[in-house]
Structure 1
Amino acid sequence: MKKKTTKILLSAAMVTLLVVASAMPAFAAGDVAGAIENTWSAAQSQIRTVVDNVVFPVVDMILAILFFVKVGTAYFDYRKHGQFEFAAPCILFACLLFTLTAPMYIWSIL
């Protein structure tokens, strides 16, 4: 039994040594920042179009649905308990305003 365990450990050590010896470090050659800037410049108009026409409208729709659902549940809680909770509807409304107006200024920030 000890012979089998010794063989397995020896095999594992050899495999580990082989992997470590054959592993080559990968270094970036050239100007990485320049490559990223060139890629961004080439794809900037496409990214803007997708974000303005797909991402922001989807986020706006989700926030609008959440806002109206939360206002409805807050109203029903008001009818049940006599106290209207303003925090969650106000936060959702502020987020909705932020995402509705974001396409006007987000690209000047980036």
Structure 2
Amino acid sequence: MALLAAQQLPLSGLQATYASAAVGGDLAPVGEKLVLHVRNGSGSTVTVTAATPGTVGDLAVADAIQAVPAAGSVFIPLKSVFRDPMTGRASITYSAVTTVTVAVLQLP
């Protein structure tokens, strides 16, 4: 898994730097003002899964699953519910990674 770093989004704007989505998934920081921007450059929909390691009672909380349309993009809030207790980060996986790029943005 690749380790993604958050990029500060100043009030004046930002031209973000995007990384290729990793085959084995990515680890992203979590926090109240952090979002994952996923861009899909392929001709097919790509599914992004953010693991939710928590439980309520004995029941596992379902993972967050987001479809990214062909040639589209999505923003996924990286809230603390995605924090893995072992790594302190969110575990993000992709159904395909060819032409998929990602960036973690920290809002002002």
Whether TM-score is above 0.5 comes out as no
Q: Shorter-normalised TM-score: what interval?
A: under 0.3
- Report the TM-score when normalising by structure 2: 0.21
Asked which structure has the greater CA Rg, the reply is: 1
Q: Which has the higher contact order (CA 8 A, sep 6+)?
A: 2
- Report the TM-score when normalising by structure 1: 0.20
Q: Comparing both structures, which one devotes a greater share of its residues to helix?
A: 1
